Amino acid sequence: TKVLLTGGSGFIAAHILDQLLSKGHSVVTTVRSEDKAQKIRDAYPQKSAEELNVLIVPDIAKPDAFDEVVKVPGIEVVLHTASPFHFNFTDPKTELVDPAVNGTVGILRAIARSAPSVRRVVVTSSFAAIVNEAKVSDPNTTFSEASWNPVTLADIHKSQSTAYRASKTLAERAAWDFVADSSSNGAKFDLVTVNPPMVFGPVVHHVFGGLQGVNTSNERIVDLLQGKWKTEIPAVGAAMIWVDVRDVARVHVLAGLERPEAGGKRLFATAGLFSNAEIAEVVRKNFPEYAEILPGPEVTTGGLPPVSKRFAYNNDATTKLLGIDWIPLEKTVIDTVNSLKAYGA
């Protein structure tokens, strides 16, 4: 099957690309620069230009960004992962919301117009589009595939994480609105969204730009390995559920290519609760060489809030539909640390 994967240099997308290629699919992937494109091509020297076609899309915020790319003949499935996930922005509207929303609407519009062979589009959304910030400490709230973040554009100056959550929520809403409006825009594909919470896991080496450039969700593990938690482990805040990056990649592959019945669904890809204290404990137990810089047993911060002060979640529908056994935290943390060690962490 020929698959278009946007943002192929990303933390999650690099794993998706790897899984697609190892399953023998042909992939067209987009990155922002020729430098990144060449790194990806070099990583798969055995693949022909037909099997792995790396194209440049410099800015997904431009409404016509994907107009040419979708015209590559024969694309059947699109996995749209590209969207900003970082907190070093000054203007949340132009730097987060516009790339998230315009990128999503732009690719859907381009497919509807010019790529009639596409039957399914998978959009990487987030738990950010599920969570309600006002309810994260409410034990009577259960977040599930049916939950929607009520955030609006008016909220984007509240905090950096609110701005990010708004970008993901508005983008996902726009995607569902687009397919609901197929009679006027001509969309012939169905839509699946993948909604993961904090994603941890090993980095794919050929796209990794060093510890300074680590992706946002793995940053905390780099912080821990650099001794930043020695005297105080930070609280998890609202993001207290997680999933392994290899499972997130697998969910994209399943959703796009192997589970026709996923059409029209939101997939809440979650392995369970975690705390920063638990991550520190796994590292302490498995990597004695870090003992000096890790928080010792006397540091008691960074645990989960008590059950009476935290939300509940339920992703049974997703787990059942996919038939997936989520990778456990200990394995993820061990594999992440091993992958980061190569860079001097």
Rounded Cα gap, residues 308 and 233, in angstroms: 21
From 132-140, 192-200, 281-289, 306-314, give the range in contact with ligand NDP by CB under 6 A. Answer: 192-200
From 29-37, 70-78, 107-115, 310-318, give the range in contact with ligand NDP by CB under 6 A. Answer: 29-37
Single-letter amino acid, residue 112: A
Of 198, 240, 280, 283, the one binding ligand NDP by CB under 6 A: 198
Site residues for ligand NDP, 45-64, by CB under 6 A, read 59-61
Nearest Cα to 122, choosing from 205, 196, 18, 208? 196
From 136-144, 196-204, 220-228, 329-337, give the range in contact with ligand NDP by CB under 6 A. Answer: 196-204
Give the DSSP per-residue string, 178-244.
HHHTHHHH---SEEEEE--SEEE-PPPGGG---GGG--GGGHHHHHHHTTTTSS-PPP-TT--EEEE
Q: Does 9 bind ligand NDP (CB under 6 A)?
A: yes
Site residues for ligand NDP, 135-174, by CB under 6 A, read 168
Rounded Cα gap, residues 150 and 316, in angstroms: 23
Q: Does 199 bind ligand NDP (CB under 6 A)?
A: yes
Task: For ligand NDP, give the closer residue by CB, 235 or 239.
Answer: 239
User: At CA 98, angle to CA 90 and CA 41, rounded to 5?
Assistant: 95
Site residues for ligand NDP, 272-331, by CB under 6 A, read none
Task: For ligand NDP, give the closer residue by CB, 172 or 290.
Answer: 172
Q: What 3-state class would DSSP assign to 273? A: strand
Would residue 10 be called left, alpha or beta, if left means φ above 0 and alpha means ψ between -120 and 50 degrees?
beta
Handedness of CA 157, 158, 161, 165 (dihedral sign): negative
Q: How many residues bind ligand NDP (CB under 6 A)?
A: 26
Of 11, 274, 311, 326, the one binding ligand NDP by CB under 6 A: 11
Task: For ligand NDP, give the closer residue by CB, 197 or 295.
Answer: 197
Give the DSSP per-residue string, 103-124.
HHHHHHHHHHHH-TT--EEEEE
Task: For ligand NDP, give the closer residue by CB, 74 or 209.
Answer: 209
CB 270 within 8 A of CB 241: yes
Handedness of CA 328, 208, 129, 265 (dihedral sign): negative
Of 83, 104, 336, 339, the one binding ligand NDP by CB under 6 A: 83
Task: For ligand NDP, give the closer residue by CB, 85 or 143.
Answer: 85
Task: For ligand NDP, give the closer residue by CB, 84 or 202.
Answer: 84
- Contact positions toward ligand NDP, by CB under 6 A? 7, 9-13, 31-32, 36, 59-61, 81-85, 99, 124, 126, 168, 196, 198-199, 215, 217
